[in-house]
Each structure stands twice: as C-alpha cells, then as structure tokens.
Amino acid sequence: MLKQSLQQKLQQKLSPQQIQLMKLLQVPTVAIEARIKEELESNPALDEGREETLESQDDFDDQNELSEAEQEFDFSDYMDDDDPSYRYNAKNYSADQEEKTIPLSVGDTFVERLENQLQTFILNEKQERIAKHLIGSLDESGYLRRDLLSIIDDLAFSQNIMAEEDELLYLLGVIQSLDPPGVGARDLRECLLLQLERKEEHTVQTFTAKAILEDYFEEFTKKHYSKISAKLEISEEDLREGIEEITKLNPKPGNSANDNAKPIEHVVPDYLLSVEDGEFQLSLNQRNAPELKVSHQYSEMMDHYSKSKGKMTKSDQDAASFVKQKLDSAKWFIDAIKQRQQTLLRTMNTILEYQRAYFLSGDETELRPMILKDIADKINMDISTVSRVANSKYIQTPYGTFLLKSFFSESLTTTSGEEVSTREVKKILDGLIENEDKKKPLTDDKLAQMLNEKGYNIARRTVAKYREQLYLPVARLRKEI
C-alpha cells in the first residue's frame, strides 16, 4: 500500500567546491604544480598571470589587442550546430573520485638482466628453458625459496620438460655465477658464502668469515661470539675482523639490483622557514606554480551572451551554458587554490607558535606534547583538515627539513607532574642506546630504570614500544665484540 508522508531531515553535504578544496589541501607542492597545469589544459577559461586593474583607456585598448594565438582561437570549435560537444563527455565516475595512475617502469627488470647474462653460457634449448624458469622462480630478494623437486614437477606439467635434479643443480650453479653475487641462493647462509667465494682476494679475514658461516652459522645469528672464538681457537680481534667481513656482504642481492633502477626521490619542502632576531619568517614554496586568473576573452563572451539574452538561438544558449560552466569552474579553482594557501599558512603559523621554543632552538627536547586537536581548536577547523595538512607536507627549517607530522606527539607525565612530549623521551632513549657499552647492551628493563631515574615515569613495555618505533633491535642483537 502506497502512503505519502512529510518528513524533515537534517543532512550535511559537501559542495563540489569543498570537495575540491579538501583534495587540494592534501596535495604536496610537487603535485600541486602538475594539478594546476592539468586544470589549465582542461579549462580554456583559466589563464596564467595576475589580475590587472585598468588605469586608462590606453591600457584597455592595449589589452584588447589580440595575440596571434588569440586571433586563431575560434569559439565554434567548442560548439556543434545541434548539440555542444561537451554533452558527449563520459560522466560515469563520481565527482569526488580520485584518479589513480600507475607509473610505467623504464629500463631492464631484474629478471631480464639475469636472462641477458645467460647468453654468455653455451646452453641447449632445454637447458635455457629450465634456466629461465629458475630465474622466474626467484623472489624479489634474489632467493630461490622453492624446493627443486617442486620445480621439476612444475616443468613437467606447465612446459612438458622432463628434468632430473642433477640438471637443475647444474643450472642453478650457472645462475649463482651471475651478477649480482649471491643471487640464486636458497637461504641466507648460502647467499653470504657465494659472495665470499666470488671475492678476488682471499685474506685471513675471508677465511675466518667462511669458517663462521660454514660451521657456526647458528651461533653467529644468536651472537654467541665467545663460543665461536673458543671453538675456532682464535682471538677476539680475529673474530671481530671476520664478522666485519660478513657484515660487508649483501643479504638481499635481488633488492640491490632493483634499487639501482629506481629514480632518486627528492623531498621538496612545502614551507620555507627562517628565524631572524627571534622572529619567524614563514612562506609557502610556490616553485613553478603560476598565478591564475579568469580568461578575459571568456569573460567578454559571457558579457556578450548576457546582453543578447532575449535574442539567442538554441546554439547560442548551449554555447552560453558552456562558457558559464567553464568560467564557474575557473573561479572555483582559483578560490580553492587561495583557500589552500590561507589554510596552509594559518595551520603552520599556529604550529610555530605552539612549538615556539623548539623552532627557535632546534633542540628536540624542547618539543611540547601536541596532537591534531590542539591545533584544530586554535584555528577553529576540523581535525581532518589539520590531518590533511600535516600528513604530506614538509617544512624547511634552519635545522633541517621535516615532515609536519613528526612534530605531533602524545604526552608523558614525569614524576614531578610535568607533561613532556614522547618525542623527547625517544630522543633520550636513542641517546642512551647510542652511548651504551656494545659488549653489554642495555636491556629494556635497565633502560626503563635509567629513564625513571631521570624523572620519566615509564614502564618496560613502553620502552620496548618506543625502541621498536626507533627501529632499534633488542639488547641481544645490539651486542658487538
């Protein structure tokens, strides 16, 4: 049964302008340049340059003199006799949907480089196919993790190649002779031994390193150095030199080959900060981002259509609708860019004042506890807005270039009742571990005790959490000879 009723609802919806602003806020400096250029290419009503005020009739006449490019511009290119071409554009995506493109890799891959090296060996067709299959079975670190018997089954079922284990072992040896050294190993121990064997000079240190890996690898991984020294009947100094030889080797040869093909990424700061006589000088890094204005030619078109409103044909109406749409889009984009700049500066200036002591000295122990809500409350904005600004922006300071997110930290109460930043505690923890006796590294319990003595009320499990966040291993793995 159909029933008609009247309901009142309270809904909050984001306008297209707000969505556009939210997108632009989280875009860093490098990407904003590309975004502006993309908008300039897609919207003919948007121009580069600063809006100029006309002071005289001569200025007006000069501005009305069309360049060659403007004289060649024909508005009819954007129109059709019956329907404007823009009506045929695909609109099967959401207005706030982000476009995600996958960059294409340039250059030889790790597998291709290994296959190219196979050409230096004399292999028959069967051997070449097996060798390529083995190369294709390597993981991203360059290891062959699969059992040879399983690979024999794969070859039989997928390529109809009947192979014996001896054949695979021979061809695996061929692959292990390729560059980078250590590739094709089945475990870490074999990988390191392959690299030692490829060394041109065999010294006492390499022989010691080889003996450690061949006979005492488990003791080496557990850092039971006294046991190794006693069993090999060598001095502590000889053992240290052998271990240093091992630490020079590459445990992931496949990754190193892939890293060589990766482009070097440079951090481009979004903010530039200098300190002069105790005062902050903050500016946005505009780089190559051009100033924007609405096209004068499109504005004149809109004025023309507005004046002849009662005399327009259907084609004129469609053209006027197109021009208005592009003008509105250009104005929205310009406003969004301006709002983005204002929001970025407002947020960063508030952070500077909140962390004034740190930005004047550069001493990390001066950092106050600060969460997103602290800044959001001061600038009367939503926490999500501050988060968008902090997550992807960098600031260049006299003390280095930092991610804004790194200045935010939780608080920790000292024994005196004072609240300090957890980043300050991590800095002190890092210093304690750096200056410890590496022969007897400090345990988490001992570190917690030392921090408590300094007035920081902290538990052992919290010390373990902070240590892991600093990417520092446990005491046993920090032990050195």
- What integer is the mean pLDDT of 178-184? 90
- What integer is the mean pLDDT of 343-361? 91
- Best CA proximity match to 191, nearest among 259, 251, 111, 114: 251
Residue whose entry in the numeric block shows the structure tokens 């007897």: 440
Cα–Cα distance between 317 and 223 in angstroms, integer? 81
Beta bridge partners of 456: 414
Listed by start position, the domains of the chain span 110-205+244-260, 271-407, 411-478
Residue whose entry in the numeric block shows the structure tokens 């001061």: 378
> Considering the domain 411-478, what is its CATH architecture?
Orthogonal Bundle (1.10)
Q: Please state the pTM of the whole predicted model.
A: 0.55
Say whether pLDDT at 481 is over 50: yes
Q: φ and ψ at 414, to 5 degrees?
A: -85, 175
Say whether pLDDT at 448 is over 50: yes
Cα–Cα distance between 212 and 204 in angstroms, integer? 12
- What integer is the mean pLDDT of 3-13? 69
Q: What is the reported pLDDT for 163?
A: 86
Structure tokens at 296: 């004068």
The DSSP bridge pattern shows strands 411-413 and 400-403 to be unpaired
Please report the DSSP string for 277-309 in residue order.
TTEEEEEE--TTPPPEEE-HHHHHHHHHHHHTG
Reported confidence tier of residue 27, pLDDT bands at 50, 70, 90: confident
Cα–Cα distance between 44 and 327 in angstroms, integer? 9
366 or 105: whose pLDDT is higher?
Answer: 366
Cα–Cα distance between 306 and 117 in angstroms, integer? 71
Task: Give the lowest-confidence range in 108-122, 276-290, 357-371.
Answer: 276-290
Q: For residue 338, which amino acid is it?
A: K
What percentage of residues in the chain have a pLDDT greater than 70?
Answer: 78
Q: What is the reported pLDDT for 473?
A: 85
Cα–Cα distance between 481 and 478 in angstroms, integer? 10
Say whether pLDDT at 170 is over 90: yes
Residue whose entry in the numeric block shows the structure tokens 């050294």: 181
Say whether pLDDT at 140 is over 80: yes
- What integer is the mean pLDDT of 252-265? 63
